[in-house]
Amino acid sequence: MPAAAPAPARMSVAHATGLHAVDDPLDLNSAVALVADQASGEVLFAKNPDAVLPIASITKVMTAMVVLDARLPLDDVLEIGTEDIDTEKGSRSRLRPGTRLTRADMLHLALMASENRAANALGRHYPGGLESFVLAMNLKARQIGMTSSRFNDPTGLSGRNVSTARDLARMLQVAYDYPLVREYSTSPELQVPSGADKALVFRNTNRLIDQAAWSIGLQKTGYISEAGRCLVMQVGLASRSVLMVLLDATGRQARYGDAQRLRNWLDGGALPMPSARPTGTSAGGTVRTSYVSAGS
């Protein structure tokens, strides 16, 4: 009997609504992009900045802020339970049920290695449990002006965690004031205990962290099929600090290529300096791609 054909890959929301059809002068692979000056808030580059899309593990930046706002003891030991196993996407984890780590290590793994079980355990061990934690996430979003965002779980595995590039830039701006979010999200690796005389080594999910040419102060990657490949960063570029948001990049490495293209443009490289304001029409309606010269 012939083997069953593999199920077709699920189309991302940005692809389904035509956002990838919108052209931009930098020829980015990301459906959504935004670069803003961190100090002034000036938008230097924007492509579909108001499109509401799933954000995958970018969610964990909000998770971290809610945990830290609660001032729960970071040296408390939390335990991974069967409740933390991903039954929605079936994602894997090396943190087996019964693994006991401090809240600090769980937070570190969630931000650096995008560890879903760690993120879910942080929400479960919040006063009132997961339901209260998600309520706190949405309250925090409203408080900091993320008007188009909604959070459904602390991991980002749910496609119902949605936001816009503008909202995520705002979240980055606020998160930058949390020293532990900066430290944990940008550390190259973390070793945690795993049974008697054993240890697990986790590494940063952002390949740019190990590149000396990049000065990254805060970052988070993300991926689920609904969201595509995502990346947010606070980074020093062209003698200024900027907030960069890339959503739904096509291809495993495309988000990093897009980040480099934006960097080259900001540095005054060979890529065209955009000045036009083209408008494209997607299946979801009219979307606008606007630009401000990086030198203005």
Per-residue pLDDT, 121:
98
Choice between 32 and 5, residue whose per-residue pLDDT is larger: 32
Per-residue pLDDT, 9:
60
pLDDT over threshold 60, residue 290 = no
Choice between 134 and 11, residue whose per-residue pLDDT is larger: 134
Q: Which domains does the chain have, with CATH numbers?
A: 13-291 (3.40.710.10)
Does 293 participate in catalysis according to the annotation?
A: no
Per-residue pLDDT, 10:
76
Does 114 participate in catalysis according to the annotation?
A: yes
Does 91 participate in catalysis according to the annotation?
A: no
Choice between 198 and 171, residue whose per-residue pLDDT is larger: 171
Choose the catalytic residue: 12, 30, 47, 57.
57
pTM of the complete model = 0.89
Choose the catalytic residue: 30, 93, 114, 185.
114
Identify the band that residue 281 occupies on the pLDDT scale cut at 50, 70 and 90: very low
pLDDT over threshold 90, residue 107 = yes
Identify the band that residue 264 occupies on the pLDDT scale cut at 50, 70 and 90: very high
Choose the catalytic residue: 12, 30, 47, 60.
60
Helix axes 179-186, 103-112, angle to 10 degrees: 60
